[in-house]
Amino acid sequence: MEDVLDLYAELYDVAYPVVCFDELPVQLIGETRTPIPMAPGRPARMDYEYTRHGTCNVFVAVEPKRGRRQLTVTARRTRVDFARQMQWLVDVAYPHATTIRVVLDNLNTHTAAALYETLPAAEARRLLQKLEFHYTPKHGSWLNMAEIELSVVQRQCLSRRIADPQTLQRELTAYARQRNTAKAAIHWQFTTDRAREKLHRLYPSIPS
């Protein structure tokens, strides 16, 4: 836990960005009847019936101090998908960074091995030389600021019916563009000192 909190407390350094990474399953839901749009004095109306179109996955990579995020829709959240996201971080999002510090939970796909299973060994090694994984503790995924971003996404973008992955990606891209333009940062206030005070029961005690 303190490893992640100390990372959050560091001053911003463009050469060593801190990127919080997570994923979210999304159910695709369509309409059975065309909704009636809102009009003056009348709210929008939709039928209570709906159709299910399966599920997909949304990856989020957010740089809290810079106020930058990227949301990507995929069919699944496999090791291959994770490896491709890490490749994107290194080659597209932060090509000039010295080291990208990635905060993530302990999902079994979030491993260096996923890159070796997906990519040629030399390519996996090249990427991992620029990546530094910082894992939240077991049952402590709330320490990952990506969860805060996903909470905002769910309230502002996913609280309605979206039927297909293409529409979902279009909506998420528009959401991210607006938030990035506004440089909407996440201001983390839970420090190591507060953790030692509030969560003292989790720290080992030394008999006097």
Least confident of 51-55, 61-65, 140-144: 51-55
The average pLDDT across 33-59 equals: 76
Q: What is the pLDDT of residue 184?
A: 95
pLDDT at 100 over 80: yes
* pLDDT interval class at 135 (50, 70, 90): very high
Distance CA 91, CA 57 (A): 22
Least confident of 18-22, 36-40, 140-144: 36-40
Q: Residues of the chain with pLDDT > 90: what percent? A: 67
* pLDDT interval class at 127 (50, 70, 90): very high
The average pLDDT across 77-86 equals: 96
Q: What is the pTM of this model?
A: 0.85
More confident call, 195 vs 121: 121
Q: What is the pLDDT of residue 149?
A: 95
Query: In which residue are the tokens 């100390």 written?
Result: 6
* pLDDT interval class at 201 (50, 70, 90): low
pLDDT at 208 over 60: no
Q: What is the pLDDT of residue 198?
A: 72
The phi-psi region of residue 25 (left if phi > 0; otherwise alpha if psi is between -120 and 50; otherwise beta) is beta
Q: What is the pLDDT of residue 85?
A: 97
More confident call, 201 vs 61: 61
- Compute the Cα dihedral for 114, 116, 119, 124 and give only its sign: positive
The fold of 2-31+48-181 is Nucleotidyltransferase; domain 5 (3.30.420)
Least confident of 38-42, 62-66, 149-153: 38-42
Instruction: Quote helix, strand, coil % in the chain, to nearest 5.
Output: 40, 25, 40
Distance CA 192, CA 64 (A): 18
The average pLDDT across 3-29 equals: 93
Domain boundaries, the chain: 2-31+48-181
